Amino acid sequence: MLRIARPSQARSSQRSLLSFVTATCLLSASVIPAVAAPTAQATQPKATQTSAAAQASHTAPISNTAQTAQAAPMAYNRFIITYTDEAKNAASTDATADQIDWSAAAGTQQATWADALYAGITSEVQSIDELLNIKTSYVRSTALDASVVTTSAELTPAQAQQYMDALSANSKVASVSPDMRRYATVDNTSDPVKINDPKMNRMWSLTGEKGVSALEAWGTTRGKGVTVAVLDSGITAHPDLDANVLPGYDFIAESAFSNDGNGRDSDPTDAGNWTVDNQCFTGSKATASDWHGTHVAGTIAAIANNNEGIAGVAPEAKIVPVRVLGACGGFDSDITDGIIWAAGGSVRGVPANQNPAQVINMSIGSEGTCTTPYRQAIAQANKRGSIVVVAAGNNNFDASKSSPGNCEDVITVGATDKNGKRSYFSNYGSRVDVSAPGGDRRYWGGGILSTLNAGKTAPGKADYAEYQGTSMAAPHVAGIVALMKAVDPKLTYAQAKKALQSTSQGIECDQSACGSGIVNAARAVQQVRSDREAADAAAAEAARKKAEEEAARKKAAEEAARKKAEEDAKRQQAPAPKVTPAPKVTPAPKASRPVTRPSRPVTRPSYPSRPRYGHTPRYRSWYGASANTYPSSGYPSSGYLGFATGNHR
Catalytic residues: 232, 292, 471
DSSP letter, residue 609: -
Distance CA(55)–CA(73), nearest Å, equals 25
Task: Return d(Cα 468, Cα 394) in angstroms, integer.
Answer: 10
With residues binned 3-state (H G I as helix, E B as strand, rest as coil), the percentages for the chain, rounded to 5, are 35, 15, 50
Contact 253, 287 (CB under 8 A): no
Cα separation, 178 vs 146, in Å, equals: 12
Of 226, 117, 94, 119, the C-alpha closest to 174 is: 117
Q: What's the chain's length in residues? A: 649
* Side chain identity at residue 259, one-letter code: N
Alpha-carbon gap, residue 269 to 455, rounded angstroms? 13
Q: CA 573 → CA 138, 562, 566, 567, 568, distances in Å?
A: 91, 17, 11, 10, 9
CB 178, CB 35: distance < 8 Å:
yes
In single-letter form, the type of residue at position 553 comes to: R
Q: Strand 227-232's sheet: what is its strand order?
A: 249-250, 318-323, 227-232, 359-362, 387-391, 411-416, 434-437
Q: Are 84 and 110 in contact (CB under 8 A)?
A: no
